[in-house]
A and B are shown apart, each in its own frame.
Chain A
Amino acid sequence: KNEVEQSPQNLTAQEGEFITINCSYSVGISALHWLQQHPGGGIVSLFMLSSGKKKHGRLIATINIQEKHSSLHITASHPRDSAVYICAPRNYGGSQGNLIFGKGTKLSVKP
């Protein structure tokens, strides 16, 4: 079983829809990144959070440390949001700061 599980693996939405991507992890963590990777492109860190909720534009990330669960929400989705979204907790027990990664959720937003 992977230490980080994301769902769904693939998601197709219509423009304007509200989107939720979920992440569950089994290890102790200090913080969690949500990353975005466009096709053929590099990785961008959208959020790093260790508790509660963060909001940036149409993106909202929440985390519940006790339940070992985090969610990424996209409001009023747009085709430019199409990308792979990766949940990456910061492993508390490993090297100070190294991340462990989910397999990613491939999001496609249709106009």
Chain B
Amino acid sequence: EAGVTQFPSHSVIEKGQTVTLRCDPISGHDNLYWYRRVMGKEIKFLLHFVKESKQDESGMPNNRFLAERTGGTYSTLKVQPAELEDSGVYFCASSPRTGLNQPQHFGDGTRLSIL
């Protein structure tokens, strides 16, 4: 079984540009989560999809961030326009079905550097 895959592994862009991160969850996993870690801080929750629906987007920092999961398979997280404080590592995780005690499987993350 393939794990959670994220693309790209590293992205370097200039302030003001647009970047799109992609996450492919484990096949069949309805739940998909986005998290990020900014320099020196703990990992923080961004949002949660159940299939194609946003279950909770309370962690999204502002309206420069847009997440989609069309068709309930892979998800994209777009940052437009990128700001310096958006630099960090963005992780995606998935779990098989809704329920409080399903373990989450993490991707390797995308390291985003804004210059």
Which of A's residues lie within 8 Å of B, judged by CB? 2, 4, 30-31, 33, 35, 41-45, 48, 50, 86, 88, 90, 92, 94-104
- Cβ–Cβ < 8 Å partners of B100 in chain A: 30-31, 90, 92, 96-97
Among B84-110, those with CB < 8 Å from A are 91, 93, 95, 98-109
Question: In the assembled complex, which residues on chain B have CB atoms less than 8 Å from the CB atom of A101?
Answer: 35, 42-44
Q: What is the size, in residues, of chain B's interface with A at 8 Å between Cβ atoms?
A: 29
Q: How far is the CB of A95 from chain B (nearest CB, A)?
A: 3
| In contact, B103 and A95 (Cβ under 8 angstroms) | no
Task: Output the nearest chain A residue to B103 by Cβ-Cβ distance.
Answer: A48
Q: Is the CB of A95 within 8 A of B105?
A: no
**B contact set with A: CB distance below 8 Å:** 31, 33, 35, 41-45, 47-48, 55-56, 58-59, 91, 93, 95, 98-109
Alpha-carbon distance A35/B103, docked complex (angstroms): 11
Q: Are A44 and B106 in contact (CB under 8 A)?
A: yes
Check A98 against B42 for contact (C-beta < 8 Å).
no
Are the C-beta atoms of A33 and B103 separated by less than 8 Å? yes
